Structure 1
Amino acid sequence: MSKRSYAQADPRAVSAKRSDRMRAVLSIIHDSESVSLPALARDLGVSSATLRRDLAALEEQGLLVRTHGGARALDTESELPVRLRDTQFHEAKRSIGQQAAAMVPPGPYAIALSGGTTTAELARALRGRAELTIVTNALTIAMECATSPQSKVIMAGGLVRSKSFEAVGPIAESIFHSITVGTAFIGVDGISADGGTTTHDETEARTNNAMVTNARRVVVVADGSKIGQVRFAKVADLDQVDDLITDPSADATELELIERAGVKIHVVEPVSER
């Protein structure tokens, strides 16, 4: 059974410790399909009361179903909640973001950023860059970039997805179709030689495709867990992608196949914060 990725969640803050525990709960339930509360408490070393709160929160987000005395798996193809994803593969995502920032040339330049935790790391790495125009449809990234007075931030509007905090649909697409940027940096849920770049939501995929279409260069930023994955909706074929930035955990065989399709591969080592 393939390793599960899980859907994005509501915007309530989740501590790093609780994030790790909730991911562990999801992993155990996914591997076992169902599990009892005493078994979870034993495996994770926490109280039953704490686990009941975690299970209630995860059920509310549609990630599992609570049963009498435990829980069972619901959907093996949903995405990880956005607040839980914030701490997942964080060092790899930060290094990928820094490498992507190094690809942005100095002087007047325009980029587009899709939503996602890896593109958010890129936004942080671009703080203080002068003469930079950033176009994004992600509320979280717009807020991150807006704290830098040296940059100009353009927010593409539309219907906001509560799961990802991205504006999607015809309004956002029309904005991306009306502009041209030097580079579009795209976060994806999957990239493979056979499937191209994909995501879980078809409306998000169409909006990101509009972002790709009017960019002179397209860079996909994806940690190793996304390599070789094919999700529900296609964003773009590989012949529309110029570069892929990932980390050493990516499947080497799949990277070679993607490279053969004409995509330049950049593998960056995760670097811990000091």
Structure 2
Amino acid sequence: MLEKRRADILDLINREKTVRLRDLVERYDVSDETIRRDLRSLERAGYLVRVYGGATLPNMYGAEPRYEMREVINLKEKKLVAKAAQPFIHDGDSLFLELGTTTLEFAKLLHVHNDLTILTNSIPIADVLINFEKFNVWMIGGHVRKGERATSGFLAEQTIDQFNVDKLVMGVGGVNREGWITDYHSEEANARRKMIKRSRHIIALADYSKFDVTALNQICPLSSVDILVSDEKIPHPYKRILAEAGTELVIAR
């Protein structure tokens, strides 16, 4: 039974790319600790990487974890990164706030500011921001990707082209040692490139798990990013890579 369950978990994660602990507990009608032991065993064998709330395939290229999984993966680090990035925003700023789970945590901290103009293509982020009375919030239209709860496509790109903003705050799909920020979804990647062109300053938010990941789409070289905010677990070589690119690295603590 033990080996059959672990083989089944391995088959499931190879198909779904990510799995959640609570889903596995319900699926196999066993305890949390039993599933944790299974995941530890499979991780030691190199089949998966355990993350907060579940597990994912190691070094996924071109396959993005589901949004609901990303909401809980490395949540502690995402909150720390968001908090460290918040002081770079000032009253009166205009900004693009791009889709993502780390940028969602960042949006929740903006209530301390006044008179911000924010354009976003994320429905969850817009839902947070509309509760802040002193903000001017624009929802970027376009095709809604249901799994991501965000807009992209030619209508989104046309809208982005109508604005010039002070700052772009963006998440990333991956950062690689060739010095590139990468992402998974092609239409969202196009929208992100447009935002970069229309912004005076670029702030990227990336917890440690985003490094040494090369997703399908090249977004921009690290040299295009003014500030990258990460956590203390960032792989050491990236401190040199970012310095050589001229990108300021901020470590969240």
TM-score, L = length of structure 2:
0.77
The residue type equivalent to 1:174 in the other structure is: Q
> What is aligned with 1:221?
205
1:104 corresponds to 2:93: no
How far does the alpha carbon of each residue in 1:129-178 deviate from its partner, in whole angstroms, 9 at most, with x for none?
A: 21001110111111111111111110110001112111001111111111
CA shift digits 1:4-29 (9 cap, x unpaired): 999899xxxxxxxx94445x89xxxx
Q: Give 1:80's aligned residue.
A: 65
> Which one of the candidate residues 28, 34, 47 is aligned to 1:45?
34
Q: 1:232 and 2:221 equivalent?
A: no
Identity of aligned residues (%): 24
Matched residues in 1 for 2:16 and 2:239: separation?
A: 25
Per the TM alignment, residue 193 of structure 1 is displaced from its structure 2 partner at its CA by 3.9
Distance in 2, Cα, partners of 1:249 & 1:168:
32
Structure 1 runs (4+) greater than 6 angstroms displaced: 4-9
Letter in 2 for 1:147: N
Q: Displacement of 1:262 after TM fit? A: 1.2
Q: Does 1:147 align with 2:131?
A: yes
Q: For the residues of structure 1 that align with 2:243 and 2:214, how far apart are their CA atoms?
A: 17
TM-score by length of 1: 0.72
Matching residue of 2:232: 248
Counterpart-to-counterpart distance in 2, 1:138 and 1:197: 20
Equivalent-residue separation in structure 1 for 2:98 and 2:106 (angstroms): 11
Over 3 Å counting, the alpha-carbon distance change for 1:138 and 1:215 in structure 2 is same
Q: Which among 169, 178, 192 is matched to residue 153 of structure 2?
A: 169
From the superposition, tell whether residues 127 and 20 of structure 1 become closer, same or farther in structure 2 (CA, over 3 Å). Answer: farther
Is the contact made by 2:169 and 2:202 (CA closer than 8 Å) also made in structure 1? yes
Structure 1 portions without partners, runs of 5+:
10-17, 26-36, 47-72, 270-274
Q: CA RMSD in A?
A: 2.9
What is the SS of the residue equivalent to 1:206?
helix
Q: Give the counterpart letter for 1:266 in structure 2.
A: V
Read off the aligned partner of 1:113 and give its amino acid letter. L
Residues 51-106 of structure 1 show CA distances to partners (whole Å, capped at 9, x for unaligned) of xxxxxxxxxxxxxxxxxxxxxx8x95422211122122111111111121110023
Deviates more, 1:193-202 or 1:210-219: 193-202
- Structure 2: gaps (5+ residues): 1-12, 36-56
